[in-house]
Amino acid sequence: MEVKTSLLDNMIGVGDMVLIEPLSEDTFIENLKKRFDHNEIYTYIGSVVISMNPYKSLPIYTAEKVEEYRNRNFYELSPHIYALADEAYRSLRDQDKDQCILITGESGAGKTEASKFVMSYVAAVCGKGQEVNKVKEQLLQSNPVLEAFGNAKTVRNDNSSRFGKYMDIEFDFKGDPLGGVISNYLLEKSRVVKQPRGERNFHIFYQLLSGASDDTLKKLKLDRDFSKYNYLSLDSATVNGLDDAASFRTVRNAMQIVGFMEDEVQSVLELVAAVLKLGNIEFKPESRCNGFDESRIKDKNGEFCSVHFNYHSYHLFHGFSFIFLFLQDNSFEQFIINYCNEKLQQIFIELTLREEQEEYIREVSNSQYMKTNRKWSSLNVCNSNKFIARYGVCSKLVFSSKQSLSTICFLLSILPLSRCLLIHLSTILVYICPLHVFCCLTVYHSLLNVVYVVMAPPTAGFQFRASVGTLMKNLLTKNPNYIRCIKPNDKKAAHIFTDSLVCHQARYLGLMENVRVRRAGYAFRQPYEPCLERYKMLCKQTWPHWKGPAREGVEVLLKNLQVPAEEFAFGRSKIFIRNPRMLFFLEEKRRQCLEDLATLIQKIYRGWKCRTHFLLLKKSQVVVAAWYRRFAQQKKYQNIRSSALVVQSFIRGWKARKLLRELKHKKRCEEAVTTISAYWHGTQVRRDYRKFFRANAGKKIYDFTIQRIMQKYFMGLKKTMPSMSPVDKSWPARPYGFLDGMHQDLRRIFHLWRCKKYRSQFTEEKKATYEEKLAASELFKDKKALYPSSVGQPFKGDYVEITKNPKYQKLNSLVEDKVLLADVVSKINRANGKGAPRIFLLTKKSFVLADQKTGQVKASVPLLDLSSVSVSTQSDGFFGSTSAAKGDFLLSSDRLIEIITKLHRIGAASADRNQINIDISDEFLVQFKQDKVCVKFIQGTPKNGNGVACKRKNNRLLEVSVPSP
């Protein structure tokens, strides 16, 4: 968040009207309008705050704003009501000066809201603690109570204060609130019995009827129907039951926090109910025998007293009301309120002049002050005399032209005796004569204590004179702070600025005169420290640090800038600048200097950045060179090592071949000995056999015959032996029947031996492939028509070359485990049965579906969540998977047998998951999002020839046509 260091930074318009150039009423109003259009609702006239009602909520009252303005110089930040509140609070806390904040303005200008902001700021910055928080809460909660009994809806303001409020808060030496006294002035009591059109009575009457419980209303003998009470306005635009109901609960809670006892709260509500009932009493005219008129109550039930009053009539004045619509009937209370406002205006002018004069006396010696400020002193006397001549003599009327004099005379001629006309600072107003004193004496004798206290015998005029005197005395003994509230339009709407209305308020508030008073001497003043801190970059002697008193630094600075001596003056703690042009000259020089400094900073930063980049490149080049030299040496070493290995292998080969030749020669010698020995033994055996045969010529002939048959059988079997292929089922026929058993055993033994020899040739990878083929046979043989065509296909696994294809390198890096199968499949769409190409990756833990073009992962399903896979009995490649987390998928692949076999084998080989169930059926269900769809396979002739076609029958059926085998 940007934090300003002066009200001159990023200023919209002019933040202090004293600095406006040139000064005129038009530039004054234009500056207010410009700031208002940019939501800058606060503007200074020296230490006076002008507040424009924005008629909308603005984010400028947050806790961050409170901390931003806390303990800051008044002119250090942009204009804000928090700056004035902080200045007043710190003067009270640190200098022990009593402070008062005067908030003035028209109805609807935002006086009530301004007072709330001041109170909330003081509550936020003062101390904490249980007792302190209790006092702060009581002071803050007094507002809802006072507004309920003193505010009403008017044509100018929905929450118009119909009384003056003076809140006196006492603080201890630490600046913590100890308590407070709230005094109200000039309550408009006549509003209770009469409200102008479009306005309504005090809030409490509507709040009571809208928000009180049924039991409370029953005890007070009231009804929620507003039409039953004559004192309440019945305009639909003025009644808001929901807001009133909520406000009543807020008021009840606030009364308890402030300190009202329950019986006191009940007494107040009884008084409000009594006033509502009094309004329903009707009078009728009667003539007495002596000729005088009198008034009597129509309903004679109950207690009453007879008083001789005329039955008044207002028809005469109402007959002219259509001509002078700008004239309204105003009560005596409104008259004294307006008179009090003019007294406050007089106090404002007087204290403003005195404050300005004391500022010069405090900062400048008397001789220098009289010498350099004669112009301001003469203006001071002139303004005071003008004010007395215009506003101080009540017996005289001052008119600007003969036309205005004739207008006043005409108005006086048509007014009835019950009216009077007065000219105020703001406008011309017509007033009704006050209530007869006997009415006050009558209700004064009520038995209700609250009524006795409220309706004391002193008249309103007497009370007004005493209270205004006390108020003026209090204001004159305190250090004043001013907030001048202005409403921008009469429509109570945001973003509307009526120039004539604002100009009218500025005139009678005396804002232009206040600006001229401040500009008569020196237009701008600032303490030496912040002035030097802001402009020290304009002089080499003061930049970047000035060692010495701040005043001397400012003197050196202005001398270096060659500022004329008559344009400024030195006070005890502040520098005084006579003309705003001089200040703007300093600001322009500062802006140019800041641009130069920014350029210098950018240059230094760019140089640092380029040098840093160069050093990084240099370091990177050294690292790259080192790595390259390392790589080159590694390649050289590998080449030398490879060459050495080749030479060694050739030498070992030569030695091995030499040894082999020697071993072969030795073996042939040994075999020759064995052969000779065998022939010799054979000769001996044949000789012995002949001897034995001659000796056993009878029985031995049969044995010899059998031996000859067996020898012939084995020799013939050796010549007709089938091939070593395990799939070769041929076997030579037996020559004799009695050899059948042995013939079959030999066939079985030979096949087992042949299979063993065949398996011994396999690698581990080939063994796994045949094991998968065997598993596929167990799953699909004689169960699915597609299986025979897959027998001759090798199970390669990677059909898209995912490790070599650069298009899928990112996809391969995303898969954590080894890819067991990678192929292109079609993901069947539920809407039209068409397939979208997807990359199908299978690992030991999951299978992944990715976009074929971009390689972006579309779905990843853990195999732990895969419970079953469904396929048909036909020659199609469709299969549906059921997953608990991702839902179901309907896919199609030309390598269905291999995909399902690998899925089944992974489930069977894992100990931490259940085996995946393979469901082979021509109908199975697939869950598409929220709907279950039946996929049905039928034999037919698709439109596309011999391919498989999908057709959507309805929301629950997807029909797949498979060509007949």
Residue 855 sits in a domain whose CATH number is 2.30.29.30
The number of C-alpha atoms within 13 Å of 936 and in the hemisphere containing its C-beta is 12
- When comparing pLDDT for 475 and 410, which is higher? 475
In this predicted structure, the answer to whether residue 376 has a pLDDT above a threshold of 50 is: no
pLDDT exceeding 70 applies to what percent of the chain? Answer: 78
Residue 720 sits in the same domain as residue 836: no
Q: What's the CATH number where 178 sits? A: 3.40.850.10
Quick one: 46 exposed, middle or buried, by C-beta within 10 A (0-12, 13-18, 19+)?
A: buried
Residue 750 sits in the same domain as residue 780: no
Among 6-20, 368-382, 767-781, whose mean pLDDT is lowest? Answer: 368-382
Q: How many CB atoms lie within 10 A of CB 71?
A: 10
Span 76-105, pLDDT tens digits: 788 999 989 998 888 888 777 788 888 888
Are 50 and 34 within 8 A, CB to CB?
A: no
> CB neighbours of 73 closer than 8 A, spacing ≥ 6?
527, 530
Radius of gyration of the chain (CA): 55
Reported confidence tier of residue 656, pLDDT bands at 50, 70, 90: very high
Span 940-949, pLDDT tens digits: 775 655 678 8
Does the residue 66 lie in any domain?
Answer: yes
In this predicted structure, the answer to whether residue 578 has a pLDDT above a threshold of 90 is: no
Among 370-379, 417-426, 815-824, 887-896, whose mean pLDDT is lowest? Answer: 370-379
Are 891 and 960 within 8 A, CB to CB?
A: no
Instruction: Show which of 492, 521, 550 is a domain's final residue.
Output: 521
> CB neighbours of 767 closer than 8 A, spacing ≥ 6?
759
Is 720 annotated among the ligand-binding residues? no
Is 6 annotated among the ligand-binding residues? no
Is 105 annotated among the ligand-binding residues? yes
Does the residue 836 lie in any domain?
Answer: yes
Does the residue 194 lie in any domain?
Answer: no
Is 521 annotated among the ligand-binding residues? no
- How many structural domains are present in the chain? 3
Residue 123 sits in the same domain as residue 104: yes
Is 227 annotated among the ligand-binding residues? no
Does the residue 421 lie in any domain?
Answer: no
**DSSP three-state, residue 646:** helix
Alpha-carbon distance of 730 to 520, in angstroms, equals 131
Does the residue 337 lie in any domain?
Answer: no
Domain with 897, as residue range(s), is 765-963
CA distances from 346 to 340, 349, 502, 508 (A): 10, 5, 20, 11
Is 321 annotated among the ligand-binding residues? no
Instruction: Show which of 760, 792, 816 is a domain's final residue.
Output: 760
Residue 64 sits in the same domain as residue 145: yes
Residue 754 sits in the same domain as residue 897: no
Q: How many CB atoms lie within 10 A of CB 338?
A: 19
Give the end-to-end CA distance of the chain in Å, rounded to a whole number: 77
Backbone angles phi, psi at 212, to 5 degrees: -70, 150
Element (H, E) at 748: helix 740-759
Residue 836 sits in the same domain as residue 756: no
Reported confidence tier of residue 704, pLDDT bands at 50, 70, 90: low
Helix/strand number for the chain, H first, E second = 28, 28
Predicted pLDDT at 315: 27
Predicted pLDDT at 50: 94
Averaged pLDDT of the chain: 77
Question: 638-663: string of b/e by CB count within 10 Å (b at 16+)?
Answer: eeeeeeeeeeeeeeeeeeeeeeeeee
Predicted pLDDT at 944: 58
| Sign, Cα dihedral of 563, 564, 565, 567 | negative
Residue 732 sits in the same domain as residue 818: no
Does the residue 570 lie in any domain?
Answer: no
Alpha-carbon distance of 242 to 249, in angstroms, equals 11
Predicted pLDDT at 632: 93
Does the residue 493 lie in any domain?
Answer: yes
Alpha-carbon distance of 213 to 429, in angstroms, equals 42
Alpha-carbon distance of 77 to 16, in angstroms, equals 11
Span 441-498, pLDDT tens digits: 555 566 666 665 655 556 666 677 777 777 777 777 787 888 999 999 988 889 999 9
Predicted pLDDT at 841: 87
Take residue 591 and report the two structure tokens written for it.
């802006």
In this predicted structure, the answer to whether residue 318 has a pLDDT above a threshold of 50 is: no
Q: Provide the 8-state DSSP code for 513.
A: H
Amino acid found at 651: I
Is 757 annotated among the ligand-binding residues? no
Amino acid found at 423: I
Residue 829 sits in the same domain as residue 937: yes
Residue 746 sits in the same domain as residue 842: no
Instruction: Show which of 465, 491, 521 is a domain's final residue.
Output: 521
Alpha-carbon distance of 849 to 841, in angstroms, equals 7
Is 632 annotated among the ligand-binding residues? no
Residue 806 sits in the same domain as residue 722: no
Residue 739 sits in the same domain as residue 776: no
Does the residue 130 lie in any domain?
Answer: yes
Residue 755 sits in the same domain as residue 847: no
Alpha-carbon distance of 925 to 918, in angstroms, equals 14
